[in-house]
Structure 1
């Protein structure tokens, strides 16, 4: 217990230097408070704004603190890896292939080296399972161009990397309705269906890997867990009261209403 208290103090000090986290009332909180809460809310979604240094720093600190507080129980899931590269992830973590092969064949994002490699390296070094949760982008792209029904024509091999079909996407859900409103013509629902396929697939692979004592950190874009919708919408059994959501907000955008859309908010300086 003394060691954990010292770790909490250390992380709290680092947090003051690297980022600012607030609760729903706008009060600044230390990282240690969130880590303690994870015991009762063991599925943590970190909704990032891609490419923001503060967000990626907090992701690594979250994973590190969770691992130190809950050794042997932590799993990491990432939107940034698609489900069909899971065998490549496993081969890399088990030492069968080299880092160069992993990075060449796993379709890493362009900002992987700077933003996500530290997270993956920490997980590998500490035997934390890494789950590739996202739908292969080629299938999401097909949905965008042809609609949801295109998934029905895929073969058995392809379907193992997608949430079970048939898939229903409720376009009236607040986050999807927002996406439609942001579109120039307000008409093409296929963008929302493509988003829904991603959300449903990530939910499927997360839920498959949630055992009784699992502490699960999932890193994704903010819209995939906003208001505990998106990915959580598609859970079959996992209760929302056991989910903790951290969102990322630019300081210029912060309002009382937005702060209530997540359990905690990372506040970054507006660009």
Structure 2
């Protein structure tokens, strides 16, 4: 649009000098010049105004604006990406899909997600292999209520491109056992059931700020077992990421941002096992104004997606 307008303006400008002695035509030329300038100003103003309504903005760990292209480049040079999300934010789900698609052009990928529990791996594999259809998958797997809108595109992308998709989370009923009876309650599980979680005993650091904060936020409800229930999820997801990781491939993992924020949670467990592992983390922050980064959010992750607090939720 701008190129066409500017070219038209230049033509008018040239013609105005050719017909200086023709007053009616010259007046017409002046009118056309004013019209073109007005249209240019209006178009530019519309674009500038629209840029004030950003759906998201990317920042690095230091709170500096960074491009999407830069984020993809850094991710492609890592071993594991922990793509944190707010489960009901559509912009983050869209970015997850776009990042996965773009990374697949640079690296071989293995996908994995908190949203699938380890004992549903067989059903997930059957769906990926087209041995069962979507209706049967819905029946046999414990899919989240927002699966169709938010996670099915990722699973179907893996199926279309013959990628592995790992069900990395501990079965919820076992995390509930920890909440009620601590890590000790897991000892009574069968051998098969224990294969669906990180090896026992679960390594645990109660002083990690995230676990301390979780306990404080709940006013002590659940006692020491509340952060332990969180930790067993983090440990299990870390375990299945490492178990299924392959040399030369990038493991792309989707999880709630609280499972990897501040380089804790899954990130902490990964580093405990493989200190030299190159891990990139992503987090999400909701703000009224996305173009002004809140300095309190620095170092929350390698890349921080700031989204409007008014963004529509998927549930």
TM-score of the aligned structures, taking structure 2 as reference length: 0.76
| d(CA) in 2 for partners of 1:33, 1:143 | 40
Closer, same or farther: CA 85–186 of 1 in aligned 2, 3 Å: closer
Q: Alpha-carbon deviation of 1:82?
A: 0.2
Matched, 1:64 2:105: no
CA contact (8 A) 2:179 2:226 kept: yes
* C-alpha deviation, 1:95, in angstroms: 1.2
Match of 1:143 in 2: 178
Cα offset, 1:189, TM superposition: 1.5
CA displacement 1:74-94 (0-9 Å, x = unmatched): 011100000000011111111
Residue 39 of structure 1 deviates from its aligned partner by 3.6
SS at match of 2:262: helix
Match of 1:200 in 2: 235
> Which 5+ residue runs of structure 1 have no aligned equivalent?
1-15
Matched ranges for 1:50-199 at <5 A: 50-70=87-107, 73-185=108-220, 188-199=223-234
Residues 1:259 and 2:298 aligned together: yes
After superposition, the C-alpha distances for 1:175-232 in whole angstroms (9 at most, x for unaligned) are 1011011012366111111101101100110001122211111100111101111012
Give the superposition deviation at 1:164.
Answer: 0.3
> 2:278 matched to 1:239?
no
| Aligned counterparts of 2:183 and 2:162: Cα–Cα separation in 1 | 37
Contact preservation (8 Å) 2:79, 2:277: no
Mark the runs of 5 or more structure 2 residues left unpaired by the alignment: 1-52, 311-315
Tell me how large the CA RMSD over aligned residues is: 1.8
TM-score (norm 1): 0.88
C-alpha distance in 2, partners of 1:74/1:101?
Answer: 26
Query: What residue is the counterpart of 1:11 in the other structure?
Result: none
User: More deviation in 80-89 or 186-195?
Assistant: 186-195
Greater CA drift, 184-193 or 215-224 = 184-193
- Pair 171,69 (structure 1): closer, same or farther in 2 beyond 3 Å: same
Aligned with 1:172: secondary structure? Answer: coil
Distance 1:214 1:101 in 2: 30
CA distance in 2, matches of 1:218, 1:38: 12
- What SS class does the counterpart of residue 232 from structure 1 fall into? helix
